[in-house]
């Protein structure tokens, strides 16, 4: 019965079942669709807009929650029992990122550092029109050491894999040709980083971010 209702609803929106299936598989596989990432994801994101209610209803059946950032055009999903910083739900336990990949300690440390650096750039107005922030590998290494007393992996392959995993989460972007093996390499932090670290955690690492948030609320 549900399958028939879904097919009928898709037909009314002029969307093929195969195209809906492709959208769902990609979203469940990657955990995020970012329109600015590639032509494929731009097509899938636009398709999501066509059938947003159907996707939301479909995933709600299995307890999957959706964050849709209309400003920066990305859709991120959270597994059942996950807590998302930008989605109000006090009954769930701390979050996991994505469905296929759960960040290890090194990846999580880097995510936290990137979130702090992103917030600093926001306060300083160093964000481009797509909400992205450029940061050098040298700055990342210094911040990682100052905030968490950790160092980036020395092994080239391990370091590359670390950044590839974060790119898979659509929270950074970098030039694959130049790589990220030296201090002069640059990384683009994507606005999706904001959805992975709560304001409480951010405030512990960067107290200035909390004062900025309080000032913003006071202005409201």
CATH assignment at residue 178: 1.10.10
Residue 60, classified by CB atoms within 10 Å of its CB into exposed (0-12), middle (13-18) or buried (19+), is exposed
Do 116 and 52 belong together in one domain? no
168 is a domain residue: yes
88 is a domain residue: no
From residue 119, give the alpha-carbon distance in Å to each of 31, 89, 194.
Answer: 23, 23, 9
Do 65 and 128 belong together in one domain? no
Host domain of residue 177 = 105-219
pLDDT at 182 over 90: no
Do 48 and 144 belong together in one domain? no
96 is a domain residue: no
Do 51 and 127 belong together in one domain? no
Residue 214: CA count within 13 A, CB half-sphere: 7
94 is a domain residue: no
From the CB of residue 51, how many other CB atoms can be counted at a distance below 10 Å?
A: 21
138 is a domain residue: yes
Do 49 and 127 belong together in one domain? no
Phi-psi region of 175 (alpha: psi -120 to 50; beta: other; left: phi over 0): beta
Tally of domains within the chain:
2
pLDDT at 167 over 80: yes
Can you give the pLDDT at residue 219?
A: 54
Residue 22, classified by CB atoms within 10 Å of its CB into exposed (0-12), middle (13-18) or buried (19+), is middle
167 is a domain residue: yes
Do 65 and 111 belong together in one domain? no
Do 114 and 73 belong together in one domain? no
Report d(CA 72, CA 178) in Å as an integer.
Answer: 26
100 is a domain residue: no
What does pLDDT average to over the chain? 84
* 66-99: pLDDT as tens digits: 999 999 999 999 888 766 666 654 333 333 444 4
pLDDT at 63 over 70: yes
Do 197 and 116 belong together in one domain? yes
Do 56 and 140 belong together in one domain? no
140 is a domain residue: yes
Domain's final residue, options 78, 96, 114:
78
Do 111 and 215 belong together in one domain? yes
- pLDDT, average across residues 27-39: 93
- pLDDT, average across residues 13-26: 95
Residue corresponding to tokens 């989460």: 169
Do 66 and 116 belong together in one domain? no
Can you give the pLDDT at residue 183?
A: 63
Can you give the pLDDT at residue 97?
A: 42
Can you give the pLDDT at residue 210?
A: 66
Q: What is the four-CA torsion angle of 186, 190, 196, 198, rounded to 10 degrees?
A: 90
Report the greatest alpha carbon distance in the chain: 58
Do 127 and 213 belong together in one domain? yes
């Amino acid at each position: 019965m549900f399958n028939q209702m879904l097919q009928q609803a898709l037909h009314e929106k002029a969307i093929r079942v195969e195209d809906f299936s492709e959208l769902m598989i990609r979203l469940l596989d990657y955990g995020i669709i970012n329109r600015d990432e590639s032509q494929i994801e731009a097509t899938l994101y636009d398709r999501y807009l066509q059938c947003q209610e159907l996707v939301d209803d479909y995933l709600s059946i299995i307890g999957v929650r959706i964050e849709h950032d209309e400003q920066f055009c990305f859709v991120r999903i959270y597994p059942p029992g996950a807590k998302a910083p930008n989605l109000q739900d006090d009954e769930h336990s701390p979050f996991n990122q994505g469905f296929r990949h759960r960040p290890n300690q090194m990846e999580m440390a880097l995510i936290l550092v990137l979130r702090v650096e992103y917030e600093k750039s926001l306060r300083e107005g160093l964000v481009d029109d797509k909400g992205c922030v450029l940061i050098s590998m040298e700055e990342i290494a210094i911040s990682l050491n100052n905030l968490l007393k950790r160092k980036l992996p020395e092994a080239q392959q391990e370091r590359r894999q670390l950044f590839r995993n974060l790119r898979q989460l659509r929270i950074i972007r970098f030039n694959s040709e130049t790589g990220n093996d030296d201090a002069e390499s640059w990384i683009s932090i994507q606005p999706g980083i904001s959805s992975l670290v709560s304001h409480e955690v951010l405030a512990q690492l960067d107290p200035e971010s909390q004062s900025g948030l309080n000032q913003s609320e006071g202005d409201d």
